[in-house]
Homo-oligomer: A and B are copies of this chain.
């Protein structure tokens, strides 16, 4: 990276990430039951009315409203029956929830509001036209849009699409993501540490966070601090993956080869360094259709940058209409004194009526991220935030 790169604002950086991303062009036809977390590539049009027939909403009696006081029970219709008996004025059928209401009936009276004596049934309440009948197509009409292109399919959507008889959907391929971790100091867990070494955890963390979000086409590569190796590893990852995240090695230190390597292999720098805390040394670039993020080496900083910059790119690439994590405003639980003048993302815990900024905010500390269910955003030059002040609160994914 150039030493002279100017710091840009968070908003600029976020916009640059999104405007540089290109929508996935590979569409997949997947069985509905495998479509969870995928994004619809087309509007889904309902091919049927739901309900597909006039449906009883109650256990009771179907009849044609008349001035009669009593009706003769001539049969029964339960859910799944195909019967459609013509009813005369004084006739009724016992009917159950979900059953088709005869065309000749215009009301269903619930069983709790009738008197029955053998085959004689007397309503005990006033009858209203179409009472307790779900009209055909009242949930969705044939030809109507059931779900829109860009919808990220959740469990409820899968259920809804099943209800209109959908068996397959067209979705965007999800981006594949290569994770490159750099550093001579990194040892794999399970081997003893020598003096000066630490356990590799950024790759493991990012891979787990991606899996949590439903991105399964990922791989971690570890590379030592060697220029040629860094260059070759990054070039291979950029060729193979839609998105590459590299952690560490992006500062100006003499042994940080990532910046030089990215330049050498033709990754165009879109920005380097953002006016924020943590994550100031964030790099974003592009080569061909691959987006390349240089994330900070400190795990908590890397994870913040992931949620604020990488997550929206992944969502946009796969065609989601909603690309950001949910942002709400919540009042602070207690006073908070701000350190530094940069805009900040702080690990926080939302519960009840307030949001609390957690301890352990150092960018080297990822522990607090486990306790956090949100990030609080404080704009630059904030000095103190008083208890009760509403703050921008970004909700982290939860299960």
Q: A residues within 8 Å of B by Cβ?
A: 32-33, 36-37, 48, 50-53, 57, 59, 76-84, 94, 96-100, 134, 139-140, 146-147, 151-152, 154-160, 162-167, 183-186, 189-190, 193-202, 204-214, 224-225, 248, 251-255, 297, 299, 303, 325-330, 350-353, 362, 364-367, 369-370, 372-373, 390, 395, 397-399
Residues of B within 8 A of A183 (CB): 79-80, 98
Interface residues of chain A: helix, strand, loop or mixed (majority): loop
What is the bound-complex CA distance between A167 and B255, given in angstroms?
A: 29
What is the bound-complex CA distance between A362 and B253, given in angstroms?
A: 61
What is the bound-complex CA distance between A57 and B213, given in angstroms?
A: 31
Residues of B within 8 A of A96 (CB): 253-255
CB closest residue in chain B, given A190 = B167
A349: min CB distance to chain B, Å: 10
Asked whether A184 and B79 contact (CB < 8 A) given A159-B204, A209-B155, A328-B351, the answer is yes
Once the chains bind, are B159 and A205 in contact (CB under 8 Å)?
yes
Once the chains bind, are A326 and B398 in contact (CB under 8 Å)?
yes
Residues of B within 8 A of A154 (CB): 208-209, 212, 370
Residues of B within 8 A of A193 (CB): 48, 52, 165
User: Which residue of B37, B139, B303 contacts A159 across the interface (Cβ within 8 Å)?
Assistant: B303
What is the bound-complex CA distance between A303 and B194, given in angstroms?
A: 53
A363: min CB distance to chain B, Å: 10
User: Which residue of B189, B198, B205, B352 contacts A329 across the interface (Cβ within 8 Å)?
Assistant: B352
Residues of B within 8 A of A160 (CB): 201, 205, 299, 366-367, 369-370
Residues of B within 8 A of A369 (CB): 156, 159-160
Once the chains bind, are B204 and A189 in contact (CB under 8 Å)?
no
What is the bound-complex CA distance between A210 and B201, given in angstroms?
A: 29
Once the chains bind, are A84 and B195 in contact (CB under 8 Å)?
yes
A261: min CB distance to chain B, Å: 17
Residues of B within 8 A of A213 (CB): 399
Asked whether A164 and B79 contact (CB < 8 A) given A59-B253, A326-B350, A395-B395, the answer is no
